[in-house]
A and B are shown apart, each in its own frame.
Chain A
Amino acid sequence: MGGLQKKKYESGSATNYISRNKARKKLSLSLADFRRLCILKGIYPHEPKHKKKVNKGSTAPRTFYLLKDIRFLLHEPIVGKFREYKIFVRKLRKAYGKAEWSGVQRMKENKPAYKLDHIIKERYPTFIDAVRDVDDALSMCFLFSTFARTGKCHVQTIQLCRRLGVEWMNYIITSRSLRKVFLSIKGIYYQAEVLGQTITWIIPYQFAHDHPTDVDYRVMATFTELYTTLLGFVNFRLYQTLNLVYPPKVKHTKCASIKYMDLHISYQKLAALSASLARTVPSVEDEEAELDHFPAEGEDLEKMETREKMELEQNKQKKLFEGLKFFLNREVPRESLAFVIRCFGGEVSWDKSLCIGSTYDETDETITHHIVDRPTIDKQYINRYYIQPQWVYDCVNGKILLPVEEYFLGVTLPPHLSPFVEESEGDYVPPEKLKLLALQKGEKPQAEEDEEEEEEEEDDEDDEEEDDQSEDEDEAEDEASLAEMEEKRAQGKSLSVKVTPGKVKPENRMRTEQEEKAEEKRLAIMMMKKREKYLYDKIMFGKKRHVREANKLAAKRKAHDDANKPDKKKKKKKC
């Protein structure tokens, strides 16, 4: 029975994990650099199954990384670059101290720089992987592009972020891949479908930021560094797929003008989102690949049909605003609206003094919709609708052109619903959504009739309740009489015996059947195993909570409607 005695923590999970501090020492990096490396390489901590074992018996809270991950970081060439940069900074400081200006100049010229291309390629080996992960990159870039050009981060970063954002938006416009827009209190959410991947990003409203003090901007800057690289490559590839020139250029009819056009102005025009992009190959527009029809059977056929239907719907949505001419008043969010309208084929323009790139004037007679966000407007043209900006977003989410009456100036807007919510069975569906669904099916809005029907339904419900109550009362009476009789019997008094014709109790077969079933279920639940019972209880609890929440919302809505009904009626009478 020989052999060496096994020591604790020398094999197994204790050797598979490494604490953050140890990892940092192994890589001989400062904490900030280690953090940066982890962000760039996408290394995240791991939670060991048995924390105490890994922690060598201690229960102190520690972050653990996989040893394999840290070994992987050891080979990273960028670690060398970090060190170089550290040395560069030290040398530069020394040169400044000695006032060796030529030395400073020379060092600045030879400033060590690193590229993240290989990391992007390594983290996203295929293009689709990169597109799938572009959500956060977009949100971050759009946020950084709204920063003021002072403090917080380098001006170059802000400019790069802005450029990439503009490129992305131009791509979305050209490929017409925007699907959903949502005006939230945080910012504007956009959802696009790029190469089959659903990508959602958020852009804050155009305001100066109140920079918080408890945010580490270094971390954000490192992420942005990675994200700008990623987004640049993704943009390049996306432009390539559409045969567009990269970096993007505005399409011009006259070749001569390009030469003389200032680069800066051309970029601004691009950012105005009103012009279409130049293509490498002058392509024939609207060459959509039609789906080939394969003979299919059974389920496949159904799937095919639904897919075709979806395709048709999508094509319809893409051309939602085609033929419409919009004009934006100066108080509406120009960029967002221009982006959305152009994504669905509409034409858009604004006041010349507002921004570069306006294509027609306010006086243009062919304008169909004028978007205004103020209660009234002085000069109104007859042949156009004056509407509030929400109409555009609601149309996009509803995939149809909604009636404009509810969005006129000064009118109380209907609620703006989130297009991301997909109600499953049992969820609460706001009535506005139901209305929208009806509109999508092509039914005409019959608001008043609906209301009346609803009222009737309510009455019915009340009646039912009353019935229940009366039944209960009957039972109670029966019980009372029985109890009386029993009491009398106990006291030994002779009852005044009287035979009354018995009533046949109407037996509700359905009800009894249901009750039986319910009891069966109850009994079966009693026989469940402990573990399964626990799981079952948990699921049922979740379901019940779900139902409770839905009911609460419905009740709230009802209360609100009831409170507002008299107002509405009054209004109607006035009308």
Chain B
Amino acid sequence: HSSKRSLTKIYAYGHDQDQRKFWLALILTSVTLQDIRNTVGNIPMEWYKDYPHIGYDLDGKKIFKPIRNKDELDEFLDKMENPDYWRTVQDKMTGADIRLSDEQVDLVHRLQEGKFGDVNFNEYEPAIDFFSNEVMIHPVTNRPQDKRSFIPSLIEKEKVGKLVHAIKMGWIKPRRPKETTPQYYDLWAKEDPNSILGRHKMHVPAPKLKLPGHEESYNPPPEYLMSEEERLAWEQQDPEDRKLSFLPQKFACLRAVPAYSRFIHERFERCLDLYLCPRQRKMRVNVNPEDLIPKLPKPKDLQPFPTTQSLVYRGHSSLVRSISTSPSGQWLVSGSDDCTVRFWEVSTARCLKTVEVGGAVKGVAWNPNPSICLVAISYDDTVVLLNPGLGDRLVSTATDQLISSYEEPEEVKEQPVQWTVAEGEGHEQGHRLILKHPKAVRQVTWHGKGDYLACVMPDNGSSLQVVIHQVSKRRTQNPFRKNKGLVQCVSFHPIRPYFFVATQRYVRVYNLIKQELTKKLMANCKWISSMATHPGGDNVICGSYDCRLAWFDLDLSTKPYKVLRHHKKALRSVAYHRHYPLFASGSDDGSVIVCHGMVYNDLLQNPLIVPVKVLKGHTITHDLGVLDVTFHPTQPWVFSSGADGTVRLFT
């Protein structure tokens, strides 16, 4: 019974059967302590696992394990059939099965419920208060008082002394009085404008957050919702690139609106912006775009200029590289890659004459002298002077006579070019003189008087790139001793003895009489393609392959007075009108742009340049559009030849 009492302190919490069995076994061991038969003591019993006996009895004889041959199935059957199975427990000390009595089971139940094991134990006995507030006459203990209880403590004295010292030294301060001023008060009661710091003027207040638009509404108009594709695109975008930081959504009622998951994030980002972002005052350009457009005189007021395409000269089967008009303006000559030169009547677009030559025609030039009817044609390395025999018969015969009246000089000079007189079939076709050059001739151009003819043979290696022929004396000169780069084109000054030579990036102006370089114009472009001289002689325009047209005023500077970037593609040719203040440029984009370029006699006034018309007509073939443009000598008309094998007249 006493062992039972000692066990009552143990509480059980388990409820399942195994737990209960464990408790039963535990109790059993303690219950059987009294009539102990096994003397091995309180040891783990698995030490005897491998032996046939389980311990020793009081006499020192082995206690053998009871024969247990039950397998799992027997165990199960036993569990099912034996009504006392649940209260049967194996005694670990003896290995025998023991059936618990009702008393023992009751004890287990009581322990499981956390009650005392003893049924008769009263846990609520009335408490007796021994140490009550009532002072009794007898002391609890009879011990005499210590001496230290009535002698002042030295340790305490020391402690007090330390505190006093600390107070004296100011180490311990009296408790601070609690602040009585209210938390908030009228902070701006005395607004003193003088106390505002100077730096406050420099302060940039934080910009306010952008206000939300319709798309942020919980119930936005349907057009603000994203379609499926837009939504996918939005999701694939980087969060920083997104135009909207959220997906617009529509909810049927206010109750259905959920919390916005990025609310704290957005507030935090605002905080970061406020203290981490550099602030700057940025001047916003607030201009009306219309004000940026320059105020130019109206094209209407600048008439006349060509406005419409009126005639198309068809006949060539390949690119028409070059065209030229007769000085009277009645005829037009065009040279093409199909090895023909055609002569047209300007007003009717009739092809009057076709002359076949031995190669793709690179350049044609009509002699500007009205008293001579002569056309220079260049193909391969040959330049042919041709009398088309058009117009006034007298002029034509006079020209023939002029050529045939040539007399061989006494002393023959060595010439770089071979002059021969055309005979036979060539003569019948109109060929008068044939000039054989050492290299391919690209451009021919006449001097204004009609006696000198300049030819360009572009070649980077040699100094013989430009030759000037004198037709009346059948003489040829090479004006330059040195090679100064690839010559693109040349032109004569209309009045004075100047000669313009355009290399890739520069235009050089030579004085032919003094035989010196007078000016070098810098075109500011990559590759000059063409050049034209103003009839006044003080202005030059240069077209270039990088879409630019540079206008030089020779009196102003060696840099372009104006650079026009009107064309989308490379410029092929430029031309001035002889009388009207017009110039035109043709480009690979198939358009001819006519500009009004007024040059004033007053030196103080700069030239006025106004684009007046974009003429379109040529179709682009092989990425080439307009190849040559030239003006009618008297009318405000412009001819253009293109890669589509046509020549067009715009009036």
B222 lies within 8 A of A413 (CB):
no
List A contacts of B603 (CB < 8 A).
none
Q: What is the CA–CA distance of A415 and B208 in the complex, to the nearest angstrom? A: 27
Does A25 lie at the interface of the complex (its beta carbon under 8 Å from any beta carbon of B)?
Answer: no
Known: A417-B214, A528-B294. A233 touches B314 (CB 8 A): no
Q: What is the CA–CA distance of A302 and B197 in the complex, to the nearest angstrom? A: 40
Q: What is the CA–CA distance of A388 and B214 in the complex, to the nearest angstrom? A: 20
Does A122 lie at the interface of the complex (its beta carbon under 8 Å from any beta carbon of B)?
Answer: yes
Within 8 A of A (CB), among B342-389: none
Interface size class of A (residues with CB under 8 A): 35 or more
Q: What is the CA–CA distance of A38 and B277 in the complex, to the nearest angstrom? A: 12
Does B473 lie at the interface of the complex (its beta carbon under 8 Å from any beta carbon of A)?
Answer: no
List B contacts of A237 (CB < 8 A).
186-188
Q: What is the CA–CA distance of A220 and B252 in the complex, to the nearest angstrom? A: 34
Does A331 lie at the interface of the complex (its beta carbon under 8 Å from any beta carbon of B)?
Answer: yes
Does B33 lie at the interface of the complex (its beta carbon under 8 Å from any beta carbon of A)?
Answer: no
List B contacts of A185 (CB < 8 A).
216-218, 246, 248-249, 251, 257, 260
A430 lies within 8 A of B199 (CB):
no
Does B141 lie at the interface of the complex (its beta carbon under 8 Å from any beta carbon of A)?
Answer: no
Does B137 lie at the interface of the complex (its beta carbon under 8 Å from any beta carbon of A)?
Answer: no
Within 8 A of A (CB), among B592-635: 609-614
Does B278 lie at the interface of the complex (its beta carbon under 8 Å from any beta carbon of A)?
Answer: yes
B255 lies within 8 A of A130 (CB):
no
Q: A536-560 CB contact bits vs B (8 Å, 1 = yes)?
A: 1001100100000000011011001
Known: A109-B175, A535-B285. A523 touches B212 (CB 8 A): no
Q: A67-110 CB contact bits vs B (8 Å, 1 = yes)?
A: 01100100000000000000000000000000000000000011
List B contacts of A45 (CB < 8 A).
276-278
B223 lies within 8 A of A556 (CB):
yes
Stretch of B262-270, B413-421, B446-454 lying at the A interface: B262-270
Known: A204-B260, A535-B292. A520 touches B299 (CB 8 A): yes
Does B293 lie at the interface of the complex (its beta carbon under 8 Å from any beta carbon of A)?
Answer: yes
List A contacts of B566 (CB < 8 A).
526
B275 lies within 8 A of A38 (CB):
yes
Known: A44-B277, A528-B292. A418 touches B260 (CB 8 A): no
Does A114 lie at the interface of the complex (its beta carbon under 8 Å from any beta carbon of B)?
Answer: no
A528 lies within 8 A of B293 (CB):
yes
A373 lies within 8 A of B214 (CB):
no
Known: A204-B259, A527-B610, A528-B292. A44 touches B187 (CB 8 A): no
Q: From the candidates B263, B280, B295, name the one contacting A204 in the complex (CB within 8 A).
A: B263
A233 lies within 8 A of B265 (CB):
no
Does B139 lie at the interface of the complex (its beta carbon under 8 Å from any beta carbon of A)?
Answer: no
A331 lies within 8 A of B220 (CB):
no
Does B138 lie at the interface of the complex (its beta carbon under 8 Å from any beta carbon of A)?
Answer: no
Q: What is the CA–CA distance of A197 and B212 in the complex, to the nearest angstrom? A: 18
Does A47 lie at the interface of the complex (its beta carbon under 8 Å from any beta carbon of B)?
Answer: yes
By CB atoms of chain B within 10 A, which of A120, A208, A532 has the most?
A532
B214 lies within 8 A of A117 (CB):
no
Known: A125-B195, A184-B216. A524 touches B293 (CB 8 A): yes
List B contacts of A125 (CB < 8 A).
191, 193, 195-197, 200
Q: What is the CA–CA distance of A478 and B220 in the complex, to the nearest angstrom? A: 51
Q: From the candidates A69, A233, A331, A556, name the one contacting B255 in the complex (CB within 8 A).
A: A331
List A contacts of B252 (CB < 8 A).
412-413
A136 lies within 8 A of B277 (CB):
no
Does A572 lie at the interface of the complex (its beta carbon under 8 Å from any beta carbon of B)?
Answer: no
Within 8 A of B (CB), among A417-443: 417-418, 420-421, 430-432
Does A211 lie at the interface of the complex (its beta carbon under 8 Å from any beta carbon of B)?
Answer: yes
Min CB gap B2→A, angstroms = 45
A523 lies within 8 A of B612 (CB):
yes
B293 lies within 8 A of A560 (CB):
no
Does A312 lie at the interface of the complex (its beta carbon under 8 Å from any beta carbon of B)?
Answer: no
List A contacts of B294 (CB < 8 A).
524, 527-529
List A contacts of B208 (CB < 8 A).
135, 200
List B contacts of A109 (CB < 8 A).
175
B272 lies within 8 A of A219 (CB):
yes
A130 lies within 8 A of B188 (CB):
yes
List B contacts of A543 (CB < 8 A).
289
- Report the tally of A-B residue pairs with Cβ distances under 8 A: 249
Within 8 A of B (CB), among A369-389: 373-374, 388-389
Does A236 lie at the interface of the complex (its beta carbon under 8 Å from any beta carbon of B)?
Answer: yes
Min CB gap B431→A, angstroms = 29
Q: What is the CA–CA distance of A416 and B610 in the complex, to the nearest angstrom? A: 54
Does A209 lie at the interface of the complex (its beta carbon under 8 Å from any beta carbon of B)?
Answer: yes
B259 nearest CB neighbor, chain A only: A207
Does B68 lie at the interface of the complex (its beta carbon under 8 Å from any beta carbon of A)?
Answer: no
Q: From the candidates A133, A232, A418, A530, name the one contacting B214 in the complex (CB within 8 A).
A: A418
Q: What is the CA–CA distance of A237 and B183 in the complex, to the nearest angstrom? A: 13
List B contacts of A527 (CB < 8 A).
294, 296, 564, 609-611
Does A445 lie at the interface of the complex (its beta carbon under 8 Å from any beta carbon of B)?
Answer: no
Does A356 lie at the interface of the complex (its beta carbon under 8 Å from any beta carbon of B)?
Answer: no
A183 lies within 8 A of B221 (CB):
no
Min CB gap A328→B, angstroms = 12
B188 lies within 8 A of A205 (CB):
no
Q: From the candidates A126, A420, A431, name the one contacting B211 in the complex (CB within 8 A).
A: A420
List B contacts of A373 (CB < 8 A).
253-255
List B contacts of A388 (CB < 8 A).
253-254
Within 8 A of A (CB), among B274-322: 274-280, 285, 287, 289, 292-296, 298-300, 314
List A contacts of B279 (CB < 8 A).
44, 46
Does B51 lie at the interface of the complex (its beta carbon under 8 Å from any beta carbon of A)?
Answer: no
Does A143 lie at the interface of the complex (its beta carbon under 8 Å from any beta carbon of B)?
Answer: yes
Min CB gap A210→B, angstroms = 6
Q: A198-241 CB contact bits vs B (8 Å, 1 = yes)?
A: 00100011011111101110011001000000001101110010
Min CB gap B295→A, angstroms = 8
Does A140 lie at the interface of the complex (its beta carbon under 8 Å from any beta carbon of B)?
Answer: yes
List B contacts of A216 (CB < 8 A).
268
A207 lies within 8 A of B175 (CB):
no
A539 nearest CB neighbor, chain B only: B289
A69 nearest CB neighbor, chain B only: B199
List B contacts of A42 (CB < 8 A).
203
Known: A143-B263, A523-B611. A420 touches B186 (CB 8 A): no
Does A296 lie at the interface of the complex (its beta carbon under 8 Å from any beta carbon of B)?
Answer: no
A200 lies within 8 A of B216 (CB):
no
Q: What is the CA–CA distance of A133 and B265 in the complex, to the nearest angstrom? A: 21
Within 8 A of B (CB), among A305-333: 331-333
B260 lies within 8 A of A186 (CB):
yes
A199 nearest CB neighbor, chain B only: B208
Q: B208-240 CB contact bits vs A (8 Å, 1 = yes)?
A: 110111101111111110010000000000000
B205 lies within 8 A of A189 (CB):
no
Does A121 lie at the interface of the complex (its beta carbon under 8 Å from any beta carbon of B)?
Answer: yes
Q: From the candidates A143, A233, A240, name the one contacting B267 in the complex (CB within 8 A).
A: A143
Known: A220-B267, A520-B298, A560-B223. A117 touches B187 (CB 8 A): yes
A421 lies within 8 A of B213 (CB):
yes
A207 lies within 8 A of B258 (CB):
yes
Min CB gap A483→B, angstroms = 12
By CB atoms of chain B within 10 A, which of A38, A204, A556 has the most?
A556
List B contacts of A72 (CB < 8 A).
199
Does A139 lie at the interface of the complex (its beta carbon under 8 Å from any beta carbon of B)?
Answer: yes
Min CB gap A52→B, angstroms = 16
Q: What is the CA–CA distance of A543 and B292 in the complex, to the nearest angstrom? A: 15
Min CB gap A334→B, angstroms = 12
B184 lies within 8 A of A246 (CB):
yes
Min CB gap B33→A, angstroms = 48
9 A-B pairs with the lowest CB-CB distances in the bound complex, closest first: A207-B259, A420-B211, A47-B278, A557-B223, A232-B184, A556-B223, A415-B221, A127-B188, A416-B219
16 contacts between A and B (CB under 8 A): A39-B274, A45-B277, A45-B278, A109-B175, A121-B188, A126-B188, A185-B260, A200-B211, A205-B260, A207-B259, A219-B271, A415-B214, A418-B212, A490-B314, A523-B614, A539-B292
A-B contacts besides A44-B274, A415-B222, A418-B214, 7 pairs, CB < 8 Å: A110-B176, A136-B270, A182-B212, A210-B261, A412-B252, A523-B613, A539-B287
